[in-house]
Structure 1
Amino acid sequence: MKVSGGLHPAAAAAPNARRDDLDGLRGLAIALVAVFHIWFGRVSGGVDVFLVLSGYFFGAMVLNRVLTPGAALSPLPLLLRLVRRLLPAMVVVLGAAALLTVALQPETRWESFADQSLASLGYYQNWYLAGTASDYTRAGEAVSPLQHLWSMSVQGQFYVALLGVVTVLTLVLRPVLGGRLRVALGVVLGALTVASFWYAIVAHGQDQAAAYYDSFARAWEPLAGVLAALTLSRVRLPAWLATVAAVTGLAAILSCGALIDGARLFPGPWALVPVAATILLIASPLRLLAARPLVALGGLAYSLYLWHWPVLIFWLVHTGAPRVGILDGFGVLAASLLLAYLTHRFVENPLRHARLPLGAPRRPGRVRIPVSMPRFALGSAVVLLAVSLAVTSFSWREHVVLQRAKGHELALLPAGDYPGARALTSGVRVPQLPMRPTVLEARDDIPATTKDGCISDFVTAELINCVYGDVDAERTIALAGGSHAEHWITALDMLGLAHGFRVVTYLKMGCPLTTEMVPTIALSDNPYPQCHEWNQEAMAKLVADRPDFVFTTTTRPNLDGPGDVVPDGYLGIWDTLSSNEISVLGMRDTPWLVQNGWLADPADCLSRGGDAVSCGVQRSWALSETNPTLDAAAGYRLLYPLDLSDAVCDATDCRVTEGNVLVYHDSHHLSATYMRTLADELGRQIAAATGWW
């Protein structure tokens, strides 16, 4: 007898009949996941179906064990079974992805892959992604070929937690409650489900991107499946009601991906749609789902889920296209299906079912045979591959750490050897020397404010003030706005120390000074309510503190066409500052490396063999012919426009290297090393505006 569910099928002693319809539901769910990922770039709700089914079948197995009188309570056999079931296929996929990463991806991507490989092997990938979802220093990273494995980590953690909770509760309560243990378990698991759902709502409101991967915010979904396993075996619906429930559940699952943007709305209340729909289909078997093609696809669900995402990502890396078309999408799907079948047939089944000959499909009624040498060799190869992946990942991470350990040298580079911006502003000679920071150093060549924790992150609306420059000076420049104001701190700090003024920071990630009521995160439509809250607090404090000058950006890229613009929300800020007699040093924003509608990372591009020009952007695309601030400045007598475009771009191109220095540390922020070479020109313009020196 075989009963399977979720991405990780697990045999259960109950119910007594095989549920082909739920195998078919898994097949439908993985089809929706693959189709929506490949062609639509959306979350279909299929993973939520898997989470519920995993809870249902694994929960049935665990509960059947503890509710059977005299059954052994040791969780070790189930844990070993999980390891044998889950790890081999994942290790094979990770090994293939590692080879493709080295072959197709630039070395700047290898560190992230190594981190995520270790996270996947250790089943904490979801926490890794939750921690980096709002990580400012990683905001420019491309989508990982292992990103989809977050759900594997959630399920693995859930299995271990459920085993532990149910085993402990049984040991404590069974001697006291006896036959009432089922009710007690239902009460505890129900309370945990409600608590997790409430936490998901709160976490979703605070930081949806991180909550999406949060195990505690996701636990209610498989717990709903466990409760179904505990209760639905005793529920019998009238035929007509079962039919209505099943059709409703199927319709909800089929429409979920098209009608609900799960990437933005899960794991909040909208996730109830696929979860409740799955419960309806568990309670109401639907013969349509037992169709042979769906059942067969359901058998491949785990392997297909593992393969489809890396195949898609590596194909996009190979083609350089932002998305697949109809024909190559079918190619990605076909390749994923073939790899899934081979993995299922020659890796999953032989190592999972000790009674099957190597490579044989599983069939009921086979007699047990000894473990064969081919199977032992296969298991040993998988273990060796897992160890090799771990060792290689740790080794590459250590190599990168050693490379970045030289980063302290960047502040001491000889000006004659590394003139940077002075090659543009002063026309100095540029010797033939290696670029600094290197492509591996670039990620850490960031402003001191980020390292010092002096910029509010995406989640919090708290205002953080730090002081740089001459901290004892009486004259003050307030550096205020988002990260594009922040990266000027390196030069401002140098100038403050040299010319006797202090720099007080009012900074928040991705949040320029604006009066927009509903700001959005750059290059997306995602609302950013914390930015509005922070702006209100920052502006009130700026008015109260009354600095001599507020240094902030005055333009943004024109996302609808070439050039840059002054957003309407900036004008309200200028009005407020002007009405309070506070002067503004208005810096024109530096060019963003937007290519074909996507942000392009220069370190990646250079690692792939690009050069300073091909990895950059044309000046005519990135910048308007004249600074848009000048048109608006006439109405603001206390606004002093600053423009260092000629220190970043030449007459035709905004290149990614100048004067042996890497201009950008990511796709739209200047490196701290290049910013140091801008200090002279910035100082000249500030002196002209302030008259301080």
Structure 2
Amino acid sequence: MSLIAEETPLARGRRRSAARPKLQENNSTRKFRPEVQGLQAVAVLMVVTYHVWFGRISGGVDIFLLISAFLLTGQFTRKLENGKALELFKYWAHLFKRLLPLIALTLLLALLGVYFILPETNWTSMLGQTWASLFYYQNWFLASEAVDYYAADHSVASPLQHFWSLSIQGQIFILWPLIFAVAALLSRIARLRIRPLLIYIFGTIFAVSLVFSIMTTNSNQAFAYFDTRTRLWEFALGSLLALILPYLTVKRSARLVLGWVGIIAMLSCGLILQVGQKFPGYMALWPTLAAACVIVAGFTDSKFGADRFLSWTPLVKLGDSSYALYLFHWPVLVFFLVLSGREQAGLKAGTAIILVSIVGAIVATKWIDTPIRRSKWIDKKRRRAVLTIAICVAVVAAPLSAWEGKIHAEELAIQAQEQMAVAEIARNYPGAHALQTGFVDAADPGLPVKPAMTALDKQWVSLGNACEGDFATTVGVLQEGCGQTKISGNAGKPLW
């Protein structure tokens, strides 16, 4: 398809009505599509059940990314084709006013769990991850720490690890509208039809990002998993689907088959594919194209159609709470595993975790998300939406800053102990001397642990030479950090 000059409204209307059958036009222009809502519910259930019971990647998150771009693109394209202003600031204020309340609630509850359940050695990292989750850069935070998202033991995972996908979505919710604004400007200047122009733009993003994703996944999969650039093609695919759908003419019988093929392919992705070392490269095409099949199948008005299943009222209702369910299930799982000392939840405990998460998601959606989302008072003036966003940020930032301040003050107090005389240091903080035969603990009572438990990750020092000869080790983690060691101590007792 080539970019051509803008047609007259009459000619464009005649061409469109001739190009699209009525049923397919209804599928592409309906504002509410219950089968897409049900598709979101299926995707979140895939994520939750695979996390809780199987400890594997399901492909459900990739479906979420595609759906979010599909819906966003449809909304902005309709605005441009109808000659309406994009009103980007209004869109962002309205969007993040809806997203941040449940994020704030999740982060506050997670911080409580971190304080009461996780060891102090995890606190510094968790506070950093909370900031990253609140401001939508958690994916880059995790990438920089080389987090293994596929680790089989979820009990050692971060309760905020799942915010990586929400962070990528938040970044796209900023980037995509800007692309539409640039496309609208190009369309006016060059007198190009907006939809073909957008197809070229998102087609280019899809191709470039997919190639980059495949290459990066092969060379550095752990980093690629969290890299926004390796995920752009999934969003671009959703955008292309929204843009091309009005032009597609698929017979009803074919759409009946297409819908069920998509459902089966979605559900089987995590079972058939060993995606642990291949996502988000070419293997992520499996769940995303499966979801695309379901969307193309659309409304069939048949009792045998997949849309009949996806439009089932309980599934659609669960789709309303899918966002909250995604937010809640992972912290509940991680904290349970830490408290129980298990690596996996098991059938009974896993069922309880899923039920608790679903109930919590439904309650939070009904009493927090829905009232704020539907508040006419907030929507009446833009500054009220901005105020809502500011309040959500503040209720998390205030205790987070206070906690960090307390940790910093404690670390400074411990550093002040370093000013004591050399003899006192040797007596109060003997380090490895505590292992010698006949050692007598003569440390002053009540001294703080040195270094602080929250500062253990800062204790790497260089030994100046390689771990060879008498210093050689067969321990994998020590081999990786050869030439470095961690120094830690206690008041009269070493920490190992």
Q: TM-score interval w.r.t. the shorter chain?
A: 0.7 to 0.9
TM-fit CA distance, 1:38? 0.9
Equivalent residue in structure 2 for 1:336, among 357, 374, 399:
357
Task: Identify which range, 220-229 or 199-208, moves more after superposition.
Answer: 199-208
**1:226 correspondence with 2:239:** yes
8 A Cα contact 1:145 1:313, kept in partner: yes
**1:325 correspondence with 2:346:** yes
TM-fit CA distance, 1:426? 4.1
Q: Look up the match of 1:660.
A: 492
Go from structure 1 to structure 2 and tell me whether the alpha carbon gap of 1:27 and 1:241 turns closer, same or farther (over 3 Å shift).
same
Encode CA deviations 1:477-536: one digit per residue, 9 max, x unaligned. x61xxxxx4xxxxxxxxxxxxxxxxxxxxxxxxxxxxxxxxxxxxxxxxxxxxxxxxxxx
Equivalent residue in structure 2 for 1:421, among 409, 425, 432:
432
8 A Cα contact 1:144 1:313, kept in partner: yes
Higher relative contact order (CA 8 A, sep 6+): 2
Secondary structure of the residue aligned to 2:452 is coil
C-alpha separation in 2, matches of 1:29 and 1:134: 24
8 A Cα contact 1:200 1:267, kept in partner: yes
C-alpha separation in 2, matches of 1:41 and 1:28: 18
Go from structure 1 to structure 2 and tell me whether the alpha carbon gap of 1:662 and 1:67 turns closer, same or farther (over 3 Å shift).
farther
C-alpha separation in 1, matches of 2:262 and 2:165: 22
Secondary structure of the residue aligned to 2:453 is coil
TM-fit CA distance, 1:290? 1.7
TM-fit CA distance, 1:111? 2.2
Letter in 2 for 1:89: L
Encode CA deviations 1:242-296: one digit per residue, 9 max, x unaligned. 2332222111111112122434321111111101111111111232222222212
Encode CA deviations 1:608-639: one digit per residue, 9 max, x unaligned. xxxxxxxxxxxxxxxxxxxxxxxxxxxxxxxx
Go from structure 1 to structure 2 and tell me whether the alpha carbon gap of 1:134 and 1:321 turns closer, same or farther (over 3 Å shift).
closer
**1:48 correspondence with 2:84:** no
Tell me, which stretches of 5 or more residues in structure 1 are unaligned?
1-11, 356-369, 450-467, 469-477, 480-484, 486-548, 560-569, 571-586, 591-601, 604-655, 665-693
Equivalent residue in structure 1 for 2:457, among 437, 443, 449:
443
Secondary structure of the residue aligned to 1:441 is helix
Letter in 2 for 1:555: T
8 A Cα contact 1:130 1:213, kept in partner: yes
Encode CA deviations 1:198-251: one digit per residue, 9 max, x unaligned. 111122122211111111111111110011000012202123332332222111
**1:189 correspondence with 2:196:** no
**1:387 correspondence with 2:397:** no
TM-fit CA distance, 1:327? 1.6
8 A Cα contact 2:156 2:338, kept in partner: no
Q: Look up the match of 1:102.
A: 115
Go from structure 1 to structure 2 and tell me whether the alpha carbon gap of 1:336 and 1:426 turns closer, same or farther (over 3 Å shift).
same
TM-fit CA distance, 1:427? 2.4
Encode CA deviations 1:279-319: one digit per residue, 9 max, x unaligned. 11111123222222221221111111111111111222222
Q: Look up the match of 1:144.
A: 158
C-alpha separation in 1, matches of 2:58 and 2:27: 31
TM-fit CA distance, 1:90? 1.1
Encode CA deviations 1:139-169: one digit per residue, 9 max, x unaligned. x993111111111111110011000111022
Secondary structure of the residue aligned to 2:191 is helix
TM-fit CA distance, 1:396? 2.6
Go from structure 1 to structure 2 and tell me whether the alpha carbon gap of 1:551 and 1:402 turns closer, same or farther (over 3 Å shift).
farther
Letter in 2 for 1:427: G
TM-fit CA distance, 1:14? 5.8
Q: Look up the match of 1:614.
A: none
TM-fit CA distance, 1:13? 12
Q: Look up the match of 1:268.
A: 281
Go from structure 1 to structure 2 and tell me whether the alpha carbon gap of 1:314 and 1:554 turns closer, same or farther (over 3 Å shift).
closer
C-alpha separation in 2, matches of 1:248 and 1:209: 31
8 A Cα contact 2:133 2:167, kept in partner: yes
C-alpha separation in 2, matches of 1:343 and 1:60: 28
8 A Cα contact 1:14 1:64, kept in partner: no
Go from structure 1 to structure 2 and tell me whether the alpha carbon gap of 1:659 and 1:424 turns closer, same or farther (over 3 Å shift).
farther
Secondary structure of the residue aligned to 2:111 is helix
TM-fit CA distance, 1:40? 1.3
C-alpha separation in 1, matches of 2:364 and 2:388: 14
**1:68 correspondence with 2:89:** no
Equivalent residue in structure 2 for 1:116, among 129, 132, 135:
129
Go from structure 1 to structure 2 and tell me whether the alpha carbon gap of 1:93 and 1:399 turns closer, same or farther (over 3 Å shift).
same
- Count of matched residue positions in the alignment of Structure 1 and Structure 2: 443
TM-fit CA distance, 1:379? 10
Letter in 1 for 2:436: T
C-alpha separation in 2, matches of 1:440 and 1:658: 13
C-alpha separation in 2, matches of 1:161 and 1:659: 52
Q: Look up the match of 1:253.
A: 266
C-alpha separation in 2, matches of 1:302 and 1:30: 8
TM-fit CA distance, 1:130? 1.0
The ranges of structure 1 where at least 4 consecutive aligned residues each deviate by more than 6 angstroms after the TM superposition are 376-382, 410-413, 656-659
8 A Cα contact 1:407 1:441, kept in partner: no
8 A Cα contact 2:44 2:326, kept in partner: yes
Q: Note the 1:515-664 alignment, pairs <5 A.
A: 553-556=472-475, 660-664=492-496
8 A Cα contact 2:429 2:489, kept in partner: no
Letter in 1 for 2:275: G
C-alpha separation in 2, matches of 1:317 and 1:55: 36
TM-fit CA distance, 1:116? 1.5
What TM-score, normalized to structure 2? 0.81
Q: Look up the match of 2:6.
A: none
Equivalent residue in structure 2 for 1:175, among 176, 181, 189:
189
Equivalent residue in structure 2 for 1:432, among 434, 437, 443:
443
8 A Cα contact 1:44 1:256, kept in partner: yes
TM-fit CA distance, 1:28? 0.8
Secondary structure of the residue aligned to 1:447 is strand
TM-fit CA distance, 1:380? 7.5
Go from structure 1 to structure 2 and tell me whether the alpha carbon gap of 1:379 and 1:61 turns closer, same or farther (over 3 Å shift).
closer
Secondary structure of the residue aligned to 2:345 is coil
Which has more helix, going by share of residues?
A: 2
C-alpha separation in 2, matches of 1:384 and 1:414: 47
8 A Cα contact 1:204 1:267, kept in partner: yes
TM-fit CA distance, 1:59? 1.1
Q: Look up the match of 1:531.
A: none
Max Rg structure: 1
Q: Note the 1:19-34 alignment, pairs <5 A.
A: 19-34=33-48
State, as a whole percentage, how many aligned pairs show the same letter. 30
Letter in 1 for 2:358: L
8 A Cα contact 2:333 2:353, kept in partner: yes
What TM-score, normalized to structure 1? 0.59
Encode CA deviations 1:15-35: one digit per residue, 9 max, x unaligned. 226321111111111111111
